[in-house]
Amino acid sequence: MATINLPNADRTLMPYTTGEPIRFPSKAETARFNRIAYAAAHIVADPLADNDPWLDANIDWDKTIAFRHYLWDLGLGVAEAMDTAQRGGGLDWPGAKLLIKYALDAAKGRPDAKICCGVGTEHLEASADVTIDDIIRAYEEQIEAIEAMGGKLVVMASRALARAAKSPADYEKVYGRILRQVKEPVIIHWLGEMFDPALAGYWGSSDHMAAMETCLNVMRDNAERIDGVKISLLSKEKEIAMRKRLPQGVRMYTGDDFNYAELIAGDEDGHSDALLGIFDAIAPAASAGLAKLANDDLQGFHGIMEPTVPLSRHIFKAPTRFYKTGVVFLAWLNGLQDHFIMVGGQESARSIQHFAELFRLADKARVLHDPDRAASRMTRFLAVHGLA
């Protein structure tokens, strides 16, 4: 245990004493998971790069790939080059392609490694003169590149399509064209506007239930080419409603960082698998919880997972697109990287009060790997900001 002075909402500093971290599960326990679980993984910036941080993305490749091995060691899959990796928010397509290459190369040496890779259109500017055919070609370019490397695809939402589409039919045309070309079943990712405001109205409607009809139409027409769908709408009701209507054999991968525990546990009508950014931050707890679930210990699963939910809701609070800052901050506190510097200068996206509450909630969730180290780093962080 460690004691640290943390700022409160009234601007006073109050002592806080940490508890005990969660036990990392064994290899034998993680081998028995009965849910598919991917962690969308972050990238580690190069802190010594002589660059303009808001403009240039310099990555510490060794630390970034080491983090993938850490996730694989815990039995989790890696969802690569997703929005958690600041895709389209600091990491451009050339950088994402290199990241995917290095991650796939690392996975080849591990027969237990699960990995899927994001494919999008961010190299195409979302301007007024972009056409539907331009968007199809942009998707095709990335699909060809990733499939040539042997990667399983996650078809990410397109900002260009959100701007160019005039009706649901345009979405059906784009997805129909690209899905007919893929070599193996893909995961479709419906990222809500709370994660990326540029995706408002995706699938042709600002009403999520109406948009869901278009997405379901695409999946029904292409079910044999779809492994699953990941929806990130932060609504368990919408996810469950869609889960009940999926074509036979198509999985629901929860992207709900507010309600993942109960969605993964499921109900009498089914369950969700997982593709979650929060699993980057709470990987040992996620792994231990999934091991309990696989052993038919539902109470043990919730006992581990439920304390992580307040932490996740805090990290993903509005503006939700800044959640990557909390994910990377916790990785630094846990010694998984040596600094708190982010691509695009995103380390500045949250407040000191936000980080202080994150520390408390991470401790209550038992995901501070070494409380003494975490407290030492938090103390130094506060001192740099004049709170010694």
Note the pTM of the prediction, 2 decimals. Answer: 0.96
Rounded Cα distance between 120 and 154, Å, is 9
Beta bridge partners of 276: 39
Q: Tally the residues of the chain.
A: 388
User: How are beta strands 77-80 and 115-119 bridged, if at all?
Assistant: parallel
Look up residue 45 and give its DSSP letter: B
pLDDT tens column, 214-235: 999 999 999 999 999 999 999 9
**What is the rounded distance in angstroms from the CA atom of residue 75 to the CA atom of residue 295?**
15
Peptide bond preceding 319 in cis form (omega within 30 of 0)? yes
CATH number of 30-353: 3.20.20.70
Span 354-373, pLDDT tens digits? 999 999 999 999 999 999 99
Confidence class of residue 24 from pLDDT cuts 50, 70 and 90? confident
Helix (H, G, I), strand (E, B) or coil at 196: coil
Q: What is the pLDDT of residue 369?
A: 97
Give pLDDT tens digits for 50-98.
988 888 889 999 999 999 999 999 999 999 999 999 999 999 999 999 9
Going by pLDDT thresholds of 50, 70 and 90, the confidence category of residue 388 is: low
Beta bridge partners of 103: none
Q: Is the pLDDT of residue 316 over 80?
A: yes
Helices (H) and strands (E) in the chain, counts: 16, 10
Q: Can you read off the two tokens belonging to residue 99?
A: 């990241």
